[in-house]
Structures are given as structure tokens and as C-alpha cells.
Amino acid sequence: MENSQPIPRNSLVWLLASMFAGIAPHFSRLPLWVIAVCLLCGSWRIMVYRSRWKLPGRWIKALLVFSSFAAVLGHYGTLFGPDAGTALLILGFCFKLLETHNRKDAFTVVVLGFFVVATAFFYTQSMLSAGYLLLVCFMVTAALIGLNQTPLQTDPKRTARRAFKLLLQSIPLMLVLFVFVPRVAPLWSLDLSGSRAKTGLSDRITPGDIAELSRSPELAFRVEFEGSIPDTSKLYWRGLVLDHYDGATWSRGVSNNEQSLMDREPMVAGFNGEGIPWQASVRFQGDQYRYRVIMEPTDKRWLFALPAARSENRRVGFSRDFRLLSDTPISQPFSYSVSSDLRFSLDTSLPRWLAQRNLQLPETGNPRSRQLAERLLKQSKTASSYVTQVLTFFSEKTFSYTLRPPRLTGDRIDQFLFETRQGFCSHYAGAFVYLMRSAGIPARIVAGYQGGEINPLGGHLLVHQFDAHAWAEVWLPGQGWKRADPTAVIAPSRVEQGVEEALSEEQSFLEDSVLSPLRYRSINWLTQFRFAWDYVNFAWHRSVLGYDAKLQADFLSRLLGPVDFKKLGLIMVLLTTLVLLGLAGLLFLNRRGHSRDPLLQIYLKFCKRMAAKGIRRMPGESAGEYLQRLIKKYPDKASEMEELTDLYTQATYSSNYSSNGEGSQQATLSRMKRLLRTL
Amino acid sequence: MLNGIYGRKQDVSIKSIEQPSHDSSDYHDLINAMVSEVETVVMGKTHQVRLALACLFANGHLLIEDLPGMGKTTLAHTLAGVLGFSFKRIQFTSDLLPADIIGAPIFDGREQRFEFQPGPVFSQLLLADEINRATPKAQSALLEAMEERQVSVDGTTHPLPVPFFVIATQNPISQTGTFPLPESQLDRFLMRIELGYPAHEAERRILQGSNPRESISELKQILGLDQLRLIQQRVESILVADPLLDYVQRLVHFSRQCSDFDFGLSPRGALALVRSARAWALIEGRDYVIPEDVQQVLPCVAEHRLRGGRGHSGHRGITLTRQLIDAVDVLE
């Protein structure tokens, strides 16, 4: 077909459909004017197809292109990077579709379409979106097939069927490439963080500021343990350490700018296998658990792990306060393996500067709390007995656990400890640390998640956003940092059974998320379904998204012994060939499989026998014509061949399949077989 | 097969098919008689004569395309004679008007009113000679009558006689001043045949014989109207088995898929193919259709409905239908 021919309707329909479907995932990210331009181009193209409007002229095209370049530059401040690049690509796709008037252009649009599909993976790689993008791929493929069809084929459904078949056939090849193509680290890195808001932990806690804490049912991360899972009450996932209090807010360090801290002290180390200067201050003492954390994107660098953790991952570093940190903000699902010793000692001797930081308090305020600290300190001989005293104070007084505490103002700690006495984890952690520091014991707030839910299908642990928790760490001489969780004293069920149980009286669990299946845990089938869905997602994350260079190397060496590039290439070529051969064979069988009519089978056998003797039946040759040729060559067998051909022709064409008498057909068949034997 | 066993004036028991017969061989003798009768005038064109008869039996119109002097008109005359049809002929010219074909209301002085004066189209067999010489206006008047089998003048509808059979001829070359029929109108003709030069022997006989026009007047009517109707009914009941329909659909599908064809056979074309194949099977004396029947009629049924792609212009029907026959597997 000539390249200058107009685009068939069939193809145009699919191109337009895939244009909208391909851009749809970007709708929420793109500036409004880009979407407007896309819609304009699409409708213009439709109007052109309906011969209402003309194709845009040269000047309009130039104007569109340059003004949109300028607008992208104006909007993003650059033409590069994933956001601006995606916008440019999408605009280019739309413009090309608009100006397309022959097949050659349309082929370009199809290729652009595949690229637009690929850009969506910058932003999301979930299973659902992959499925959706596969659908879009299918639509673009249909457009490609439509381009190669004659204009008379106007049934988009038939084109779709063919595209579907094509995609099905490509699956084995896709699998081979997925498994075997070497995973090379990208040559460039893209800043994908953007301005996407993520729910998750905040690095500032202001107890008493927000009157109510709303908690989302979203997943924070999954954990896959090698072996058993520790008790729920031991699952304290450390994420952040907050050691600065300004009278209202707990935050990280003196300044929020971590960089300036790092200048003063190498706070994070351990990336790419480099040494950790404060390694000596960590002592692992057994009760080891090994596990893999698969995190949802947070756009933050902090990672979550049980104390005391270490990770072999080259992208994971280790901070001075014994947290794991990633080298870049987590903008894609990220998995890392960790080993944690639940028996540990950290910082048995505390450097002076660290002790100072963890004793910091505002100069004034909260006099009653300071008095309380003094009083309790007098009653206790050692630091650890002071801790017990404070915890006993919490348990003896009428504190209660709630997600709807009253607001606090002024001397917040005083107000909380002596007046309201209602709060959730950060209130208790904050007050606890305040009391510790007032007594001269170094302490800090740790934020992270506590607990989790075991998915019985995958045997892995799900940690949701509502599992977010804050607790305290106290430094005790000779013992180092020890965890102290005042919330556990007030609401033991929070730590042992999770936040839902702790709030069972208040009924405030997930009250904002009416639609979340997590809210209806008592409905059994819904829970089953939720677990199943999570399991599928987990498998997707682990085996598809998590299939990185290391996993590939493990998998392949388990499969094939030691691997190198040469062997990989060879296997890839071999498997690809096998797949293609298999497909070819399938097509061949499919073609032959049609003739299941026994009459035809025998006749074809006859043709085959004759072909072996040198006279092959041409495809377009009817049985009669073939017979004439055969008789000319083998006049002595004329009568047999004639009878066989007659029997075949008559039995096939003188009655319908359905009305064939079983018996007479059998007779014909056996007669034909006898004749065939004589030939 | 026809191999000259039938004599010139052999009498066939025509009476044997006054009732609908289920044995196609009854029709076979009669048809052979007709063919040999036509052969006395149009010599050496057995295949074309049989195709023309098949076209008639399938109740379709026939287009004969050939050079001048090849016997187009003679064939049409002869068929009319053998069938005993009322026969009219229109010589198409560029100034022919629709009224010249379908007729016009004429003022009757005595009755003081307009009376419809039927045109030549009101005949059982109409020979439209050199149809491509007329303007599209005149052409479409005829083609409309062919399709509708009725004529509307001044709001009155006049049915055309039954049977109504059009044989049109056209001259494929020297197209100056002609208006070639567009595809849509070519589609109205069930078949398009070409006569071609006669074989050596047949030509000798033509040269030895008398003026064919004279022998036309001596022709003997073989077929009555009732018998024609019976034959046409019989054609309808010829069995088309599923494997054959499979084959036809493969042909049609190929013509639609293959890029050598600009466009494929329409469902109407496919229907025409099956109808013609039925008629051909009857002529062959069979009461079921076999692929050979389809292959025999395919060139004249399909070639004017197809057009080649890849820069082919005009009709390359023969090569295309040949390609179609060769490429599509009969059995599969």
C-alpha cells in the first residue's frame, strides 16, 4: 500500500481512541492548557475526518508548535526532565495526529503513541496502571494494524481482535526479554519527585495542635520475613528521630536543614559499602530477623526497619541515630533487605554533643511538669527506676487513649499531664520525653509505625498509614538507648492488637475512610478479598517491579549456574528463536487443523500420494481439473482415480454436512479408503 | 458435455418439463438443444453461449463487451429467437434521451388526454447496443429499469414484462466520446462476457456459411415462457453445500484482504457468484454446485466488480479473477 494513501477510518478511530486513553493517566499531572490543546487537536482531527474542517495550514501549525514550546518552558521552567518532557511528547503526539494526512505520518503517530504509553511508567508502576497501559498498547497496536488494512475494512472490532492476537503472541517473547535482558542501572537519573503530595509520616510533631488525627488506610510498606515474624508488640518500625522541642513542636535537630547538620557531623554514611564511623556504637546481640521491606513511594529519604538494623543494599545508608536512609527520595516502590537484631545496645557511651542535643528543652515553660520531674527523680535512685516512676505515673492517673483529644495551648505539657489527660501516641511520647529531659536523662521521640497486619496468603506483613506511631527512646547509662513507649502503658491494646482494638470504644477508627475495606474487617469475605488483592499486588511488586539486577542474577544463577553476558545473550537468542518457531508451528497447525472433515482428509491423502508421484495439486485447482491432469499422466489408473474423485465431490457437495446420513458416509469413506490403497 | 452429438434440428421432448422436475438431466437435454440451436448461428462459442444462458436462468442481465463485428448483436438476436421472446433493440447514441428508452406520455387528440406510449424497454428481451455511447442520464434510465423491473413516468408505475432480460453490449476500445459505465452500474449486470475471436474451424464455417442474419429468422423456438420460469425456479433449488459456501467465502475474503485488489467483492457480488454457479450447475446437468461451477462463472461474474490495486487502472478483471482462482485453495 502506498504511503501517501489516506489513513483508513479504522486506524484513525483507534488512533484517536488511543490518544485519549494514552493521555488520560497524565490528566491529573498536566497543566490544564495541555489537556485543552489535546482535546482541541482531537476534535479538530475528527472534524477533518468528517470533512467539516480543513487540516491546519502551515502558519497555524508553526504557531501551535512554537507557542506550546514556549508555554511548556514557561510552565515548567525547562524543556527537560520528565514532567516537561512528557508534556512536550504529549503535545507533539497530538499535533502529529492533527496534521496526519497520509499513512507515513500515521506510522509516526503510532510510534509516538507507544512512547506516550511508556512515559506513564515514570509516575506509576502499580499493577492496575500496568494493566491499563497494556490496554492502551493494545489500542495503539490496533491502530497500527488498521493502517495496514484496506480502506474497505471498516470494522474496528475485527482489527481489535487481530491486535489482541498479536499481543498474545508477543507475550512469550516479552517474558524472555523480561527475564534475560541484563538490568543495567540507568545512565541518567530523573528527578521524579515533583510536587506530588504523599500521605505518610511528617518530620514534625505538634501534640495538641490538630485536634483530631485523621489516619489513612493506605499502605505504607510490606515486609516479607525470612522465617518467623516477631510478636506484634515487638514490631516498632523506626523511621524518624525527633530530638528538638520548641515548646510546641518536636522536630529534627536544631535546624530543619539536614545538610547543615551533615556539615558539622557526618550524620549519614554507609552508602555503596563505605564504612560507618560510628559502627562501634552499635552492638548486635542476637535474636536476628531477616526480612525485606517493600516500600510505597514517600518522596522522603527515610526508610523503616526494626532496631537495630543493617542493610547490605548499596543504596541504603545508616544515620547517626541508627536509622536506615536511602540515597535519594523514594519516588518509586523501593525494596531493600534488612537484618535486625532485636537484642542490641546502641551508644553505650554517649558523646557529649549528642547528650546535649537530647537534653535540649526550651528555657522556660511547663513549671508543673518540671516540678513533677523533680519530685519523681527524688523518689528514684537510678535513671531506669525514674523511667519506671514516670510510666507508673501515666498508668496510675486517669489518662486515656483517643484520636480526638482536646486542643492544647500555652504550657502544653502541663495542660496535657494535669488537665486534659487525653491524647494519642505523640502526646504521650512528647510528655514522656519532656519529663525525661527535665530530669537530665537524654531522651528523644521516635516516629514510625508500630505493628502491622499479617496477610495469611503471602505470609507477609502489611503496615498501613494508620499504624503510624510515636514512642520514645531513653538513654540509660551503661545500657545505651532503650525504647520506652508510654502509649503501651496507657492503652496496651494499641501495641498488642493494633490501633483498631485500642479505639474500639471510641468508634473513631478510619471514620474518614468510609470506603476503605479496612474499615470493615469484621466482614469476612471482604477481608479475604482484601488479602487476596494485596497478595497479588505484593507478588507484582516483588517479582516484577523488584526484579532488579541482583534478583536477576540470583534467579538466573539458580536456573543456569554462573551467568555472564555471553551466556545470557546466547540463551536469549535461543529462547527467542524457540518462541518464534513455536508461534510459526502454531500458525501452521492452525492452518491445517481446519480440515477435520473425514472426506477431505482422505482426499487430501490422495493428493499427497499423487504429489509424491510428481503431480502436485495447485491450490486453485479443483478436484475435476486435477483428475484430468492425473489421468493424462496415469491413464491405467484412470477409473480408480475417477471413482475416488467422484465419490469425494459428490459426498462433499451434494449434501450438507448436517444432513449427511451417517451410514452412507461411512460406506463412502471406506470405499474411498479401499480405492486409495490401490493407487 | 457438448460434443456435437446433437444434430441441427434434433427434436427434444420439451413436454417432459411442463411440471417442475427434480431431475436436472431433464433440463440438461433441453439446454443442450438450446445451445446447439444457438450454435447454428453463433459458431464456436459454446462456452459464451452457455454463460449467456446461465445468466438468463439466474434471472440476471448480461453485458457483452467486445470489439465491433465479433457477433455481439448476433448472439443477442439468436438468444431472443431461441427463447421466443418479444425482442427490441436500442442503439445507444450520445443524444439518446431517457424518454427514448422508457417511453413518454403522448397527447391523444381524440381522447383529449395524455396516454403513456411505452418505449422499447417494454419488451422481454432488450438489446441495448453500445450502451457506453449514451449519456449517463440515458444509461441510468435503463439501469434503473433493470434494477427495479418497473418504470415510473409522471407518477404512474408501469411494470415491465416478465421475464425482463437485458443484453447490453459495449465496445471496450475507441472510448472517445463515450461514457464508461461506473462500477456501481456495472454491478447491475450479473455477468459480463467477452466473445473473443472465433477459432480457426469455426471461422471457416462462418466464412462458408450464409449471412447469419438470415439463419436467425430460421431459428426454432426451443423454450416457452413457462418453461423458462420452471428452469429459473429449478436454479433456485440447486443445492449449495456448506463446503462450497466455504469456498465462496474464501474467495470473497481473499479479494477483500489481498492488497492486489483495490476493493473486494461485495456481498451482492458474492450472491451473484452463487446464483450464477447454480445456473451453471443446472446447465451441466447437476443438482448441486461444485467448485468447478464457481470457477467457470467467476471470471464473468467478478471481473467487472473488481479493480486491481497498486496503480492498476481500469479493468484488469481477467488477470485478477485468474489470480483469485489460483490463489484460493479449493479444498482447504
Q: Comparing C-alpha atoms, which of B34, B18, B55 is closest to residue B163?
A: B55
Determine the average pLDDT of the residues in B97-125: 86
CA distance A395 to A145: 73
On the question of pLDDT at B1 being above 50, the answer is: no
CA distance B239 to B302: 21
CA distance B226 to B18: 8
Q: Is B239 strand, coil or helix?
A: strand
Residue B163 preceded by cis peptide, ω within 30: yes
CA distance A396 to A414: 17
C-alpha cell at A496: 498488642
Query: In this predicted structure, what is the pLDDT of residue A659?
Result: 53
pLDDT band at B54 (very low <50, low <70, confident <90, very high): very high
Contacting residues of A for B309, CB less than 8 Å apart:
1, 150
Contacting residues of B for A618, CB less than 8 Å apart:
326
Query: In this predicted structure, what is the pLDDT of residue A677?
Result: 85
Going by DSSP bridges, is the β-strand pair A288-295/A334-341 parallel, antiparallel, or unpaired? Answer: antiparallel
Nearest CA in chain B to A149: B257
Per residue in A581-619, pLDDT (tens digit) is: 988 888 777 665 555 677 888 888 888 888 888 888 888
Percent over 90 (pLDDT), chain A: 6
Q: Which of A118-122, A396-400, A512-516 has the lowest mean pLDDT?
A: A512-516
On the question of pLDDT at B125 being above 60, the answer is: yes
Residue of A2, A145, A150, A648 to mutate, interface with B, max B Cβ within 10 Å: A150
Domain ranges of chain B: 1-237, 238-332
Specify whether A427 is catalytic: no
pLDDT: is B10 or B148 the higher one?
B148
Say if residues B299 and B48 touch (Cβ distance below 8 Å).
no
Query: In this predicted structure, what is the pLDDT of residue B280?
Result: 93
Q: Which of A153, A594, A621 sits opposite B330 (nearest CB)?
A: A621
Contact B288 A654 (CB under 8 A): yes
On the question of pLDDT at A561 being above 50, the answer is: yes
Pick the CATH number of B238-332 from 3.40.190.10, 3.30.1490.20, 1.10.8.80, 3.90.1150.10: 1.10.8.80
C-alpha cell at A44: 479538530
CA distance B231 to B239: 14
Determine the average pLDDT of the residues in B165-171: 87
Which residue numbers of B have CB closer than 8 Å to A's CBs?
A: 239, 241-244, 256-257, 259, 261-264, 287-292, 295, 309, 325-332
Per residue in A442-480, pLDDT (tens digit) is: 999 998 888 888 888 888 888 888 888 889 999 988 888
Q: Which of A38-47, A90-99, A279-288 has the lowest mean pLDDT?
A: A279-288
Q: Which of A150-159, A217-226, A349-358 has the lowest mean pLDDT?
A: A150-159
Q: Which of A65-74, A264-273, B241-250 has the lowest mean pLDDT?
A: A264-273
Contacting residues of A for B259, CB less than 8 Å apart:
1, 150
On the question of pLDDT at A211 being above 60, the answer is: no
Which entry of A341, A485, A534, A541 is annotated as an active-site residue?
A: A485
Per residue in B142-158, pLDDT (tens digit) is: 888 888 888 888 788 88
Contact B330 A594 (CB under 8 A): no
On the question of pLDDT at B274 being above 90, the answer is: yes
C-alpha cell at A269: 554514611
Cell match 514556549: residue? A70
On the question of pLDDT at A197 being above 50, the answer is: no
Nearest CA in chain B to A658: B242
Task: Output b/e per residue, A124-142; b: 16+ Cβ within 10 A.
Answer: ebebeebebbeebbbbbbb
Contacting residues of A for B262, CB less than 8 Å apart:
150
Determine the average pLDDT of the residues in A418-443: 89
Per residue in B300-312, pLDDT (tens digit) is: 898 888 865 544 4
Contacting residues of A for B247, CB less than 8 Å apart:
none
Going by DSSP bridges, is the β-strand pair A480-484/A316-319 parallel, antiparallel, or unpaired? Answer: unpaired
pLDDT band at B224 (very low <50, low <70, confident <90, very high): confident
pLDDT: is B210 or B66 the higher one?
B66
Q: Which of A102-106, A244-248, A275-279, A425-429 has the lowest mean pLDDT?
A: A275-279
pLDDT: is A149 or A195 the higher one?
A149
CA distance A524 to A517: 11
C-alpha cell at A325: 536512609
Q: Please give the order of strands across the beta sheet that includes B87-91.
A: B87-91, B125-129, B165-170, B61-65, B189-193
Q: How many CB atoms lie within 10 A of CB A404?
A: 14
Residue of A648, A653, A659 to mutate, interface with B, max B Cβ within 10 Å: A653
Determine the average pLDDT of the residues in B61-73: 85
Which entry of A425, A460, A541, A607 is annotated as an active-site residue?
A: A425
End-to-end CA distance of chain B: 28
Going by DSSP bridges, is the β-strand pair B150-153/B156-159 parallel, antiparallel, or unpaired? Answer: antiparallel
Per residue in B173-217, pLDDT (tens digit) is: 666 777 888 777 788 899 988 888 888 888 888 888 766 677 777
CA distance A421 to A465: 25
Contact B241 A653 (CB under 8 A): yes
On the question of pLDDT at A194 being above 50, the answer is: no
pLDDT: is A406 or B319 the higher one?
A406
On the question of pLDDT at A26 being above 90, the answer is: no
Q: Which of A2-6, A176-180, A301-305, A519-523 has the lowest mean pLDDT?
A: A2-6
CA distance A588 to B156: 62
Counted residue by residue, chain B has a size of 332
Query: In this predicted structure, what is the pLDDT of residue A656?
Result: 58
Specify whether A460 is catalytic: no
C-alpha distances (whole Å) from A154 to each of A556, B43, B258 are 47, 47, 15
Nearest CA of chain A to the CA of B264: how many Å? 8
Determine the average pLDDT of the residues in A264-274: 66
Query: In this predicted structure, what is the pLDDT of residue B270?
Result: 92
Percent over 70 (pLDDT), chain A: 87
pLDDT band at A634 (very low <50, low <70, confident <90, very high): confident
Contacting residues of A for B329, CB less than 8 Å apart:
619-620
Q: Which of B259, B288, B330 sits opposite A622 (nearest CB)?
A: B330
Contact A619 B327 (CB under 8 A): yes
On the question of pLDDT at A384 being above 60, the answer is: yes
CB-based contacts of A575, cutoff 8 Å, min separation 6: A176, A180
CATH superfamily of B1-237: P-loop containing nucleotide triphosphate hydrolases (3.40.50.300)
ipTM over 0.85: no
Per residue in B11-28, pLDDT (tens digit) is: 333 344 455 555 556 677
pLDDT band at B29 (very low <50, low <70, confident <90, very high): confident
Specify whether A94 is catalytic: no
Q: Is A408 strand, coil or helix?
A: coil
Nearest CA in chain A to B251: A620
C-alpha cell at B197: 475471436
Q: Is B11 strand, coil or helix?
A: coil
Instruction: Report the greatest alpha carbon distance in chain A.
Output: 127
On the question of pLDDT at B231 being above 80, the answer is: yes
Nearest CA of chain B to the CA of A670: how many Å? 20
Query: In this predicted structure, what is the pLDDT of residue A443?
Result: 92
Q: Which of A236-240, B4-8, B114-118 has the lowest mean pLDDT?
A: B4-8
Nearest CA in chain B to A619: B329
C-alpha distances (whole Å) from A261 to each of A119, A264, A265, A301, B233 are 37, 5, 6, 16, 102
Which entry of A469, A534, A541, A607 is annotated as an active-site residue?
A: A469
CA distance A311 to A325: 10
Nearest CA in chain B to A654: B288
Contacting residues of B for A624, CB less than 8 Å apart:
290, 292
Per residue in A153-186, pLDDT (tens digit) is: 667 788 888 889 889 888 888 888 888 887 776 6
Say if residues A116 and A23 touch (Cβ distance below 8 Å).
yes
Cell match 527524688: residue? A378
Query: In this predicted structure, what is the pLDDT of residue B20?
Result: 55
